[in-house]
Structure 1
Amino acid sequence: MILPCLSRRSPPIWRIPSARYASSKSSDPLRILFCGTDDFSIASLRAVHDEHQQNPSLIDALHVAHRPGKLGGRGNKLLREAPIKSAAHELGLPTHVIDTFTGWTPPTAFNLIIAVSFGLFVPPRILNAAKYGGLNLHPSLLPDLHGPAPLVHTLLNQDKKTGVTVQTLHHAHFDRGTLIDQTPHPGVDIPDPDTCTPAQLSRHLAPMGAEMLVNVLRSRAFVPPLKEVGWFQSAGLKDRPIRHAPKISKEDMRVDFKTWSADRIVRTLRILGELWDDSIFEQLCNRKDDGPRRIKIHQVRVAELDQLESDIEIIPEPFWSPVHGCVAHYTPDRKVVCLESFTVEGQGRGTGNEYVLPRLKDDYKFLDL
């Protein structure tokens, strides 16, 4: 399969639509409001913009809506703009900042709304004003993994296959539209599943989704009558439960050393980028008078038990390993997770081992791995 080139220095080259996209449908020239936020949506925006440049009879106008910048970083002092903002400006496209559709009136008439990783529900008032309603590109094989975080849950679930789906925007619910295009059965392989991160999976799927979205526009698959193409419940998977992919919460990032295996700890940290715990500091340093001190874990390494430890009953608990120069923790599967980089609440990032060592309990027993 020929994938689109998304280089900023040269225009994308798109595969000529196959018979799969052949259609006798027609439409008015499209006036598109493209709603997006992140790098996954930028790939689709560039593809739609390229089609706009090369095929103005199909796409007459293209505007971009994005969310306002948010304060982040230490002390919430750094304004982080939506990545798609700079891409839209680079392409010379008109932009509109939207944090809510309440009270917002489109500045010009649009006849198609496209939402890709936008995060805001497009209300019926906006969809009804667009002759062709709305489209959404979703990075999963809908209806499976519907919700705002499909990439993360694909990896957390250790799936081997995935794909992309173009659906219509539903007037009342997220991810309940008609599936008008989808990666063919059984999906595509996840690249390097044992090391893949959400960002890497996004980069893998983004050009596939961009190509699919443009071919949907070319074939006018969004023009009624719509054809439902979803295959999940007709491919021998109808008895498999449809999974939700909710937004990742703080609690999802809380590690449980007493029940999680070492592999699960490593995998979850790789996918979520950070874990936290509020018991290790108290267990190690006996600082109950200060209250619980949360730690944020950034990097770990798994070590096997030595011969001495292999012969005794292991109770999951934290300890200091002088061999590795760091805090470590036994896990229920009889392995040792070394906390190579972590931060104690209120201290400098990554300085956890240096901060904890002089504060260990007086009666603490040092163990060698």
Structure 2
Amino acid sequence: MLWRLPVSVRSLYIANCRSYSYSSKAVADPLKILFCGSDEFSIASLEAVHAAKLEEPQLVESIDVVHRPGKRTGRGLKVVRDVPIKHFAKDDLGLTTHEIDTFTGWTPPVPYNLVIAVSFGLFVPPRILCAAKYGGLNVHPSLLPDLRGPAPIHHTLLKKRKMTGVTIQTLHPKHFDHGTIIAQTPPPGLPLDVVPELTPAKLTSVLGKAGAKMLVDVLKNQAFLHPLRDHGWYGSTDNPIDHAEKITKQHRFVDHDNSIGEDVDRRNRVLGNLWCTLPNGKRVILDDIRLSNFPKPSRQEDDYQGKPGLMINANDDLVLRTGDGCELKIHACTVEAGRRGEGGETVKSALKKT
């Protein structure tokens, strides 16, 4: 709920709650929605659409939820972790769910006239879209065309965007994030500098609620009906436009020689589980690291002066020195194939041998 958010985060959401003007002379049939989602961001939109259904049954007749199978995690991949929307849709909202890992060979077993995809992860093919009288809609947590791709929230923070927002677009039959923009956070967007050390979870909560409200406004004003009006504005400005590629293991890699302390600290806050390598080549996961504001040598020996990398300081603390001389104290780490969070002594031992 909104009141549970920190005051600074709440201000971001409130700043986004402006009126949006849509107009459509046509009147749509009651909506039979095929909702495709997965995570907390998509849950916010599903909850809002479900509330609209209860409030205005003539607007939304039915909602069926499509989600992907859970992923196996843990040692031996013995534990299956379901996507969050599965239990929320079924247990909390009492909706019918459909679990698929591909649209190939799958036909929705229920009638539908609108597809809504929010943080789903699978491309909705033309066969599914064409069967929907009103096509498809997507809620995207960025100011498109900036940060097209699967990880816009993380890249918003990694790329130090000063503004962000939410976009409602139609689902394109051939490409991700290339539909017609029918609603977007008004210019100049939501300011991010009002929240210090913003995390992906906080930003997901803010943009999730903003996107949910915008989606319901689009449905109520029937802005998805033709002729569509393009409400995109960001691409016509001089603001940067980048791709939000999938976050991979390489995004978490810390290159000792070329790293910058502030960048490592930001990536640690946004991504977590950063990693580097020992002199013997073994990978070290940095479970808990914190920036220390003293860019000076950790040890007094001449052969360590100014060198970046893993090292032991004068207080016998394990630290990571970055290329610009900053240091991050390592409070917990995991050595490859070792016990989680208990690799500190192993790393120290390896460093003393070099």
Partner of residue 317, structure 1: 309
SS, match of residue 208 in structure 1: helix
The CA distance in 2 between the partners of 1:346 and 1:22, in whole Å, is 59
Q: Deviation at 1:305?
A: 4.2
Give the greater-gyration-radius structure (CA).
1
Partner of residue 12, structure 1: none
Q: Deviations over 1:259-299 (max 9, x none)?
A: 11111111111111111112x2x2xxxxx4xxx21111122
Q: Structure 1's 252 and 16: CA in aligned 2 closer, same or farther, altered over 3 A?
A: closer
RMSD of Structure 2 on Structure 1 (CA): 2.5
Contact 1:6–1:43 under 8 Å retained in 2? no
Q: Deviation at 1:182?
A: 0.3
The CA distance in 2 between the partners of 1:28 and 1:18, in whole Å, is 24
**Matched residue type, 1:330:** R
The CA distance in 2 between the partners of 1:257 and 1:332, in whole Å, is 6
Partner of residue 158, structure 1: 160
The CA distance in 1 between the partners of 2:61 and 2:2, in whole Å, is 22
Aligned pair 1:297/2:286, yes or no?
yes
Contact 2:296–2:326 under 8 Å retained in 1? no
**Matched residue type, 1:66:** H
Q: Deviations over 1:129-150 (max 9, x none)?
A: 0000000000000011000000
Q: Deviations over 1:189-233 (max 9, x none)?
A: 226554111111101111110000000000000000000000013
Q: Structure 1's 110 and 165: CA in aligned 2 closer, same or farther, altered over 3 A?
A: same
Gaps of at least 5 residues in structure 1 are 8-14, 283-287, 365-369
Partner of residue 319, structure 2: 328
Partner of residue 61, structure 2: 60
Q: Deviation at 1:355?
A: 2.2
Contact 1:4–1:211 under 8 Å retained in 2? no
Match of 1:177 among 179, 184, 194: 179
Q: Structure 1's 316 and 61: CA in aligned 2 closer, same or farther, altered over 3 A?
A: same
Q: Deviation at 1:318?
A: 2.7
Q: Structure 1's 347 and 214: CA in aligned 2 closer, same or farther, altered over 3 A?
A: same
How does the TM-score come out when normalised to structure 2? 0.89
Q: Deviations over 1:231-257 (max 9, x none)?
A: 0133x32xx552110101111111111
How does the TM-score come out when normalised to structure 1? 0.86
Q: Structure 1's 225 and 22: CA in aligned 2 closer, same or farther, altered over 3 A?
A: closer
Q: What is the count of residue pairs matched by the alignment?
A: 340
The CA distance in 2 between the partners of 1:138 and 1:108, in whole Å, is 26
Contact 1:6–1:46 under 8 Å retained in 2? no
* Percent of residue pairs bearing the same amino acid type: 48
Q: Structure 1's 18 and 107: CA in aligned 2 closer, same or farther, altered over 3 A?
A: same
Q: Deviation at 1:111?
A: 0.3
Gaps of at least 5 residues in structure 2 are 6-15
Partner of residue 36, structure 2: 35
The CA distance in 2 between the partners of 1:82 and 1:317, in whole Å, is 38
Match of 2:220 among 214, 218, 221: 218
